[in-house]
Structure 1
Amino acid sequence: MELLVLGGTVFLGRHVVNEAVARGHDVTIYTRGLHGAAHPDVEHVKGDRADLTPLHNRHWDAAIDTSGFDPEPVQASASLDLGHYVFVSSCNVYPDWPDKPVDEDSPTWQDGEGYGQGKAAAERAAHAAMDGRFATVRAGLIVGPHDNVFRLPWWVSRIMRGGKVPAPGAPERSMQIIDARDLARFLVDLAEQRVSGTFNGTGPIGQTSWGELLTAAGDAELVWLPDEKLIEAEIEEWTELPMWLPAKYEGTWRVDTTRAQAAGLTTRPVLETVRDVRSWLENGGADELHDWRSEFRPKPMSAEREAALFRLV
């Protein structure tokens, strides 16, 4: 298969390229060449999403778009000579999420500005351009080696340092994650098989728990802090203690993936993902990260801030 990957050098795109190359596909990536290194066995065409001139007058059997956020460039990409188009979207397209559980038929944003609104508009643009040859995968929390946003690595890194670690909420609270390698495999499957439709790309509901996830990272002493204590301490949701939202957001970890599972999405054990993230960190993984999306990376929590939290227990 002749495959075009829009993106392909940082995190999810990197795993998509690795998966496609391992299957023997001829891969072309289209990036600005500013972040990360291209796989040695792919064609790297350099350019910006706003100008697809370098891709004109060429044909690909399929494209996987890991870097589209706005409707205009995504529509332009979908208007290339492509057999099939697989778009990486986000659960943020659902207005109800994370306040309420969602499934693959839940309503999406139809107007407005913002990340989720842009992704929803991009989905509609690509769907219109591809005329039934389009799949959108609404990703959940993507984790794994080479994670440039550094959410799960933040936790693994902190637990590797040992001592007392503030843990959010309750150990039994459920979570859903998706290893980037599993998501990449699913995306390539959809491209190979030319499957159309809408899919939620994350682990199954009840896949794991906070306790299982953090315990898998190492032997540090986890000090569990109830939501009300974290709110009292004005902990910034999702970022200061990465991936934490209070339980009142009941839909956070209740994203239904029935259709995706029927189409072949499978997820590896959480223990394997955490182990591989730890190995990546131990081998200097954090040092490889470039600046792309670095503004979203959570900052280390100071010892003073941690001590203040422990006094709340």
Structure 2
Amino acid sequence: MRLLILGGTVFLGRHVVDAALARGHEVTIFTRGRHGTAPHGVEHVIGDRADVTPLQGRAWDAAIDTSGYDPAQVDASSALDIGHYVFVSSCNAYPDWPDKPVDEDSPTWEDGEGYGPDKAAAERFVLARGGAVVRAGLIVGPHDNIFRLPWWVRRVREGGAVPAPGRPDRPLQIIDARDLASWMLDLAELRIAGAFNGTAPIGQTTMEELLRAADPDADLRWIPEDKLEEAGVEPWMEFPLWLPERFEGTWHIGTEKAQAAGLRTRPVGETVADIATWLENGGEAELDEWRSEHRPGKMSPEREAALSRLLC
């Protein structure tokens, strides 16, 4: 299969490239050339999403779009001679999420501006052309440039008393980028159309199970979330993966259609172990400044001590 990947050098995109090459596909990537290079055997077309001229006059059997944010740009790329188009969207396309649980039939944004409404508007172009839309949940794994789960793996493996947010049995659902990449290739190869939620089933794991996968004997100090809020802890940034439980939909994303279309997710312990190996091999050093504003900073010992005192 001749496959075009929009993106392809950072995190999810690079995993799509790796999986496509492993299946023997002929791969072209389209990027600005600012964040990494194409692996051997991959054609790298340099260009900006705002101008798809370098791709015109060519044809592919399928495309996987890992970098589309602007609706007009997704409209232009999905209108190319592209075969089957698979678009990586987000659960932010649902106006109710994360305040409320959602499933694949929940309404998406119909208007408005910003990340969620723009993703929903882009989806409509893809779906109108018979493509597939994957509303991704929390994507994790090696090469994670946003560094949410790696943040926790690094901290837990550093040892000592580890402040942890909320209750240990809080359900979570995450997806390894490699599982998402493999499944999106299935959608492309089989020309499966429709909108799907790309994450693990509800109740896949818990916060404690995830953290103990990094170290079963970790000294986890669980801080009630009301105390965290009183202390002004910034959800998601100071403590990655934590939003207060009043955001009922955070980890309650229905995936029935995705599961029926073949999405499968590996055990979280395998993902955590591979992230640990990536970190041990200097993986964090590969990250540049792109999107670093979304990356959680390392918590200082003084801040950890202050939070630990909330248990007293």
| Shorter-chain TM band | over 0.9
Letter in 1 for 2:120: A
Letter in 2 for 1:285: G
Task: Report what 1:111 is aligned to.
Answer: 111
**Alpha-carbon distance in structure 2 between the residues aligned to 1:227 and 1:121:** 35
Task: Report what 1:184 is aligned to.
Answer: 181
Letter in 2 for 1:135: A
Task: Report what 1:284 is aligned to.
Answer: 282
Is contact 1:104-1:256 (8 Å) kept?
yes
Residue 39 of structure 1: CA displacement? 1.4
What SS does the aligned partner of 2:310 have?
coil
Is contact 1:144-1:273 (8 Å) kept?
yes
Q: After the TM superposition, which residues 228-243 of structure 1 pair with which residues of structure 2 at under 5 Å, given as runs?
A: 228-243=226-241
Matched, 1:82 2:82: yes
Stretch of structure 1 that moved more, 7-16 or 31-40: 31-40
Instruction: Structure 2 unaligned segments of length 5 or more: list them.
Output: none
Residue 40 of structure 1: CA displacement? 1.2
**Alpha-carbon distance in structure 1 between the residues aligned to 2:211 and 2:62:** 38
TM-score by length of 2: 0.98
**Alpha-carbon distance in structure 1 between the residues aligned to 2:127 and 2:51:** 20
Task: Report what 2:199 is aligned to.
Answer: 202
**Alpha-carbon distance in structure 1 between the residues aligned to 2:269 and 2:227:** 29
Letter in 1 for 2:208: G
Of 210, 213, 216, the match for 1:216: 213
Task: Report what 2:151 is aligned to.
Answer: 154
Stretch of structure 1 that moved more, 261-270 or 112-121: 112-121
Is contact 1:8-1:16 (8 Å) kept?
yes
**Alpha-carbon distance in structure 1 between the residues aligned to 2:118 and 2:214:** 35
Deviation above 6 Å: which 4+ runs of structure 1? none
Is contact 2:221-2:308 (8 Å) kept?
yes
Matched, 1:244 2:246: no
Residue 126 of structure 1: CA displacement? 2.4
Task: Report what 2:94 is aligned to.
Answer: 94
Is contact 1:35-1:291 (8 Å) kept?
no
Letter in 1 for 2:204: Q
Is contact 2:30-2:45 (8 Å) kept?
yes
% same residue: 70
Letter in 2 for 1:310: S
Of 257, 260, 284, the match for 1:259: 257
Residue 190 of structure 1: CA displacement? 0.2
**Alpha-carbon distance in structure 1 between the residues aligned to 2:197 and 2:191:** 17
**Alpha-carbon distance in structure 2 between the residues aligned to 1:221 and 1:245:** 22
**Alpha-carbon distance in structure 1 between the residues aligned to 2:82 and 2:31:** 18
What SS does the aligned partner of 2:247 have?
coil
Letter in 1 for 2:69: F
TM-score by length of 1: 0.98
Letter in 2 for 1:29: I
Is contact 2:127-2:193 (8 Å) kept?
no
Is contact 2:9-2:38 (8 Å) kept?
yes
Stretch of structure 1 that moved more, 288-297 or 82-91: 288-297
Residue 54 of structure 1: CA displacement? 0.8
Matched, 1:227 2:222: no
Q: Deviation digits for residues 132-170 of structure 1, max 9, x if unmatched?
A: 2x0000000000000000000000111111111110111
Residue 36 of structure 1: CA displacement? 1.8
Residue 125 of structure 1: CA displacement? 2.2
Q: Deviation digits for residues 105-138 of structure 1, max 9, x if unmatched?
A: 000011111111110011112223x2x2x00000
Aligned-residue Cα RMSD (Å) equals 0.7
**Alpha-carbon distance in structure 2 between the residues aligned to 1:234 and 1:105:** 35
Is contact 1:36-1:290 (8 Å) kept?
no
Q: Deviation digits for residues 11-31 of structure 1, max 9, x if unmatched?
A: 000000000110000000000
Residue 82 of structure 1: CA displacement? 1.1
Residue 232 of structure 1: CA displacement? 0.8
Of 289, 295, 299, the match for 1:297: 295
Letter in 2 for 1:195: I
Q: Deviation digits for residues 44-98 of structure 1, max 9, x if unmatched?
A: 0000001111101000000000000110000000111011100000000011111
